[in-house]
Amino acid sequence: MIKYLFVLTSSPKDFYCEQTVVAIASLRDHNPGAFVTLLTDDKTAETLTGPRAAIKEAVDELKILTLDEKFTPMLRSRYLKTVMRNVVDGDFLYMDSDIAVVGDLSIPKEWEGGIYAVLDFHTNLSKAINRKKVLNNAKRMGFSPILNDEIFNGGVMFAADTPEARKFFETWHELWLYCVSKNFPYDMASLAETNFKFGYITQKMPGGWNCQLAYGNRFLPTAKVLHFFGSRIVDTCGHKVPESMNLFLPKILRKDFYTNLKNLPVTVNADKSISINAYYDDVILHAKEAFEYQTKKVGAAGAYIIRSYAFAKSLAWLYKKMPILVKPLALLGKILG
């Protein structure tokens, strides 16, 4: 049996719990009967009360680890992610919370026994926009210069339950702790170094298994998982978003889609499917169509622009500083729509 694994570190002040509920709802929409595991920490577990308690009903297995109380939320999340293989039994497909599942996630037979992920930014390191940063971070930590030219995105990972995979994650955790000791708490450099130490055993998934929207337009037609990245979720600062802005800002990329969920009842049905209300259920079920609509209206090149980090940051700045300038975009969206 394959487990579909999510890791949660959250408090009532953020919207990571709500993001995870949306992610699980999308998983169950397209994969009824999926076995869902949630791995969390003791501080987060204490907050899963009231409306936040629904997430406990929505999963089939809840695992809680007691961590050092001095750990920041960021350290807690990275800690859980790097130990997950050794505290969750069985093969699993791990997914970040800032995703929407949009297809069948049945695991291919050829993946049995392996570790799989998608290349970061859907490209080799030599062509990646962050190449210098990655290499500098590796050098700073005294790590390998990444000889195989591959850096994997940790947002979606398949890991079989094998002694080798458990040792891989044990090493990843140890290297991450080393990075923390050097005041570098991020997990990607340690993941790359672990892959080097294990002879580059991580294998490539097809891009659609982790369609990183800012760079994965070519994988959208075959996408199974859309990966938003937290920084691409735009806060509209309470301003009403015209329907014509759907072209530039699909509902599932709006911060209030998650923050408003804090005050809505979440129903977990007998089959573990999730119902919120007609609006939410429709947006979650049809997440892929929203991005296909973008491509249809503005073409591949235009979609690349409006899904870029630069566009998302610019749009966020407009909503925060000069919302009046959103109106021309809304007009353009109306014309294109």
What pLDDT band is residue 229 in, cutting at 50, 70 and 90? confident
| DSSP element (H, E) containing 140 | helix 131-141
Dihedral (C-alpha) 79, 82, 85, 87: value to the nearest 10 degrees? -10
Average pLDDT for the chain: 96
Question: How is residue 62 written in tokens?
Answer: 């809840």
The pTM assigned to this predicted structure is 0.96
Among the listed residues 154, 52, 39, the one whose alpha carbon sits nearest the alpha carbon of residue 98: 154
Q: What is the mean pLDDT of residues 241-254?
A: 95
User: What would the pLDDT profile of 72-106 be if each residue is shown by its tens digit?
Assistant: 999 999 999 999 999 999 999 999 999 999 999 99
User: What would the pLDDT profile of 256-306 be if each residue is shown by its tens digit?
Assistant: 999 999 999 999 999 999 999 999 999 999 999 999 999 999 999 999 999
Q: What is the mean pLDDT of residues 312-336?
A: 93
pLDDT at 7: 98
What pLDDT band is residue 230 in, cutting at 50, 70 and 90? confident
pLDDT at 15: 97
Q: Are 156 and 95 in contact (CB under 8 A)?
A: yes
pLDDT at 231: 74
Among the listed residues 129, 114, 131, 130, the one whose alpha carbon sits nearest the alpha carbon of residue 195: 114
pLDDT at 185: 94
Judge whether residue 197 has pLDDT over 80.
Answer: yes
Among the listed residues 103, 106, 83, 80, the one whose alpha carbon sits nearest the alpha carbon of residue 93: 106
What pLDDT band is residue 68 in, cutting at 50, 70 and 90? very high
Q: What is the mean pLDDT of residues 60-82?
A: 97
> Which residues lie closer than 8 Å to 136 by C-beta, 6 or more apart?
none
Task: Using DSSP bridges, classify how beta strands 267-268 and 61-65 pair: parallel, antiparallel or unpaired.
Answer: unpaired
Note the residue count of the chain.
337
Give strand ranges (E) for the chain. 3-8, 35-41, 61-65, 92-95, 99-101, 115-119, 152-159, 203-204, 211-212, 225-227, 267-268, 274-275
In whole angstroms, what is the distance from residue 251 CA to residue 85 CA?
33
In whole angstroms, what is the distance from residue 31 CA to residue 39 CA?
20
pLDDT at 42: 98
Among the listed residues 283, 289, 122, the one whose alpha carbon sits nearest the alpha carbon of residue 209: 122
User: What would the pLDDT profile of 131-158 be if each residue is shown by its tens digit?
Assistant: 999 999 999 999 998 889 999 999 999 9
In whole angstroms, what is the distance from residue 82 CA to residue 137 CA?
18
Q: Are 316 and 235 in contact (CB under 8 A)?
A: yes
| Terminal CA-CA length for the chain | 44
Question: How is residue 316 written in tokens?
Answer: 């966020």
